Structure 1
Amino acid sequence: MEKLKTGSDKERQYLTFGIRDEYFGISIDTVKEILEYSNVTAIPLMPDFVKGVLNLRGEVVPVIDLSLRLGKGVTEVKERTCIVVLEIPFEQDLVTLGALVDSVTEVIDIDISTIEPAPTFGARIKAQFIQGVVNVDGQFVILLRGEKALSVEELASLVEKVSEV
């Protein structure tokens, strides 16, 4: 995918990444950093999509398998597998969360007028996770809502359980 030109305040930046053979994007505003996959410690009695936790400079960060969360099966860790560290708004705070993805592609500028609404039927992932869909150089990119990657109840539960570790 070729990087689009920046030019107006009607554009937003998205980090694009691959999961299986599809491309997704998430607002760069929620992305804290991108890490190579390593040192994730499994935690028992967590939901299936929770890969475990990692120590990020002294902070315990839950890591979710985004592919599994989106109903696409378990991510097979390979050379380009990454953890996208996100800061998700929750109540009055920002909660740090890692999302396991197959590979990170690039940061692109998207004209918000080109974003199509989330499909109401036929989508293979839950519509609540989708901000919209955009065509970038002939490739559809599904734009995810970072704050909806987990429901409020699941996020609160994860933060509580990880804090006890």
Structure 2
Amino acid sequence: MAVPDSEAQYVTFGLDDECFAVPVEVVREILDHQDAFRIPHGPDYLLGLRDVRGQGVPVIDLRLRLGMSRTTKTPHTRILVIDVKIADKALTLGLVADRVFEVTSFKHQSVESAPDIGVRWPSEYIAGVVRRETGFVVIIDLAKLFSPADAVSLVSADAGRTVAGSAVI
């Protein structure tokens, strides 16, 4: 059980007019947006692969995965490169965000449980909600965002591919 005054750090980012967060410890780095190498027959939210330091990383349109409209690239669009465990598989993914705000701390006692109604995306993806003066911050449960079948298709998307420079061989 968490100590009442203890805090956890999160990276906050925007999708549309909403503010979301993921634990800072899963974020490897934040990159400027670049178009991904398209993968045929992937799920609609899988934009393709991107070379991240010699590793082919599947890039996800997080807006589509959450049931929102497709991301429109702007000068503020970023990719959060995360390491997450899904269905007993360690995956590195790139999540496209409209913009990244900050790294911030939330006290454990200020994180409320996910509401069952009144949100545009399925609440099983929500680890918690934090109230701020400017609105709410929705903490995403990354392990629940993708099903075991999603994890298999994302692993197979970059399995066996070698990345050299910016070309996928």
Fold match, TM over 0.5?
Answer: yes
**1:12, 1:112 within 8 Å by CA — same for their partners in 2?**
yes
Query: Equivalents in 2 of 1:20, 1:39: separation in Å?
Result: 20
Question: Counterpart in 2 of 1:5?
Answer: none
Question: Counterpart in 2 of 1:69?
Answer: 65
What is the CA distance between 1:88 and its match in structure 2? 0.6
What is the CA distance between 1:39 and its match in structure 2? 4.1
Amino acid at match of 2:11: L
What does the per-residue CA deviation read over 1:72-119, in whole Å, with 9 as the maximum and x for residues that have no partner? 110000000000001011355521000001000001100010111101
**1:62, 1:162 within 8 Å by CA — same for their partners in 2?**
yes
What is the CA distance between 1:164 and its match in structure 2? 4.1
What does the per-residue CA deviation read over 1:110-162, in whole Å, with 9 as the maximum and x for residues that have no partner? 00101111011222111121001111233211110122221122012211132
**1:16, 1:26 within 8 Å by CA — same for their partners in 2?**
yes
Identical amino acids, percent of aligned pairs: 37
**2:59, 2:93 within 8 Å by CA — same for their partners in 1?**
yes
Question: Counterpart in 2 of 1:158?
Answer: 154
Q: Say if 2:117 is the partner of 1:121.
A: yes
Question: Counterpart in 2 of 1:98?
Answer: 94
Amino acid at match of 1:102: D
Q: Count how many residue pairs are aligned between Structure 1 and Structure 2.
A: 158
Query: Equivalents in 2 of 1:122, 1:16: separation in Å?
Result: 21
TM-score under structure 2 length normalisation:
0.88
1:147 match: secondary structure = helix
Query: Equivalents in 2 of 1:156, 1:62: separation in Å?
Result: 12
Q: Any runs of at least 4 consecutive aligned residues in structure 1 with deviations exceeding 4 A, and if so which?
A: none
Question: Counterpart in 1 of 2:166?
Answer: none
Segments of 5+ residues of structure 2 without an aligned counterpart are 162-169
1:63 match: secondary structure = strand
Aligned residue among 58, 63, 66 for 2:54: 58
Query: Equivalents in 2 of 1:161, 1:38: separation in Å?
Result: 18
Amino acid at match of 1:95: L
Query: Equivalents in 2 of 1:125, 1:91: separation in Å?
Result: 21
Query: Equivalents in 2 of 1:109, 1:47: separation in Å?
Result: 34
